[in-house]
Amino acid sequence: MESGNSESVSQENANESTGLSLLDVLDITISDTEKRLNTGTVNLRDSHTVYFIETKIKENTSTAWRPEHLESFSGIWRRYSEFETLKTYLQITYPYIIIPPLPEKRALFPWQITTTDLFHPEFVDRRKAGLENFLLRVASHKVISFNKVFMRFLQQEDIGSDPISAIGYIGKADAKLKSLGALFMLKKPDKRFEEIKNYSNELYSNISNVLKVRAKLVDRIYAIHKLHANYGRVFTQWAPAEKEIGKELDKASHFFHAYASLSECLDEEEQFADQMKEYLFFSDSLRSVCKAQEMFQYEVECSDENLSAKSMQRENLLQGKKSFMSRWFASVDTDEVRDLKLQQIEAQLRDAETRCKQSSEDAKY
């Protein structure tokens, strides 16, 4: 995986120097969707949606810097879980870059008439637009757009083993963070990232609260409109039975029906909610960058502590200081045993120095 990444990084750096992105040479669209049954099942409910990604080389594109193995035209079906795998891989490979968010997997902050059916045409169309925006945003980035895994994702069925390895890595990282729990505290946190983390956490919390309040508010507005619609039907049926006030009742029914119209109100609310959710998902992506930085910083601090401990052991051994166990049992090390311990500690010290340098290099991003 490391050799593949080094090749990808060199290719990305070369393309970055041109100041162009993959979107400058390639048109990317999601043109169609299709509902398919999961493999090995006959239950119609056990199915998923796939999205057809079309790519086409733009006209008058120079072949001098065109990425290798990039086909002039291609089309491939992808399901949502494959987009999730790609995003996770990009987050691990580029922990210092804010990876664009994916659209919601299931309807978040729904209200009374919001569809929760994953296969409803309206929900599928909205997710399709969100997935296309994800691809376009990644393809417009001058670094990650030329990642080989991303380009294979767009045009080839097999995207390789790197994303699978990334999933395993992030699982271990998450488990490590969970094991630390509430006791996880950095001794020297980076103030810049602390400010960003606090901002992203606050933004995420505030947007979540706004969306929750908005869902409750829209439910109440919907109830008011529904009540006026019921009044409109009553007045419509009542008007023909009244000769003297029939005309006024009919006017009142038109008023109630006009007020009960939901189409324009609902469209505005859905557009507002989609924009707010996008900010919500971006704030979560920002939190992922801060989380990665904390992991790197924690590795640096652990490496420094280990290096200091090994250096102290070496100094004590050179000065002839006894360990607690040696003093307790009144044992004395011979010169041969002391030399052997010194060699072991020096080997451990070199290993600690190497790890310390590596963790420092990883944390530079």
pLDDT tens for 7-30 read 445 555 555 556 788 888 889 999
pTM over 0.85: no
Would you state the structure tokens that stand for residue 10, as one six-digit string?
Answer: 């060199």
What confidence tens digit (pLDDT) does each residue in 249-281 have?
Answer: 888 888 888 877 765 666 677 778 888 999 999
Distance CA 159, CA 141 (A): 20
Cα maximum dimension of the chain: 120
Weakest-pLDDT range from 39-48, 230-239, 328-337: 328-337
Work out the average pLDDT over 141-158.
88
Read off the tokens for 103. Answer: 């659209």
The residue type of 293 is Q
CB 193 within 8 A of CB 118: no
Q: Is the pLDDT of residue 138 over 90?
A: yes
How many percent of the chain have pLDDT more than 70?
74
Structure token digits, residue 165 = 């390895």
- For residue range 115-137, what is the model confidence (pLDDT) as tens digits? 556 778 888 898 999 999 999 99
Choice between 208 and 217, residue whose per-residue pLDDT is larger: 208
Q: What is the pLDDT of residue 86?
A: 92
| pLDDT tens digits along 69-84 | 677 778 899 999 999 9
Comparing 263 with 360, the larger pLDDT belongs to 360
